[in-house]
Amino acid sequence: MADCIFCKIANGEIQSQTVYEDESVRVFRDLSPQAPEHVLIVPKKHIENVAEFNSEDRGLAAHIFTEVIPKLAKDLNLDEKGFRLVINTGEDGGQTVNHLHVHLLGGRKMTWPPG
Ligand code: 5GP
Ligand code: ZN
């Protein structure tokens, strides 16, 4: 989508600190990390947020949750101590970039509830 920063990063038009890439997703370091490890899992396809997911995206969603996230957890050495996934959605959810992304945060003890 024109003028979408995460489309541009995902398709390589804008440089990022990429930690993983395949045909359907790019994972890169957040510009403003909130934990020692903070990466964003971003589909290459422009999807606004999880509320816009539909059955066409089933394979993508399964890929992210059953393959990409477990691999990242191992590669970033977070699989034993744990980590947090966050998907901010819409205005009240605190979403600031309107291209679906899953935050993966780790390397410190998280608190609950979030703000
Ligand atoms: P949201 O608030 O939408 O859940 O998360 C957007 C995230 O994207 C924020 O954590 C913000 O720091 C990050 N971000 C915004 N613009 C850029 C950018 O140009 N590059 C990178 N690497 N991260 C960005
Ligand atoms: Zn986009």
pLDDT band at 95 (very low <50, low <70, confident <90, very high): very high
**What average pLDDT does this structure show over 33-38?**
98
Cα-Cα-Cα-Cα torsion 52, 56, 62, 64, nearest 10 degrees, comes to -60
Quote the strand ranges of 22-92, DSSP E.
25-29, 37-43, 83-86
pLDDT at 8: 98
Q: Is the pLDDT of residue 1 over 90?
A: no
The rounded Å distance from CA 85 to ligand 2 centre is 20
pLDDT at 115: 83
**What average pLDDT does this structure show over 45-62?**
97
> CB within 5 A of ion ligand 2: which residues?
1, 4, 6-7, 46, 99
**What average pLDDT does this structure show over 66-74?**
98
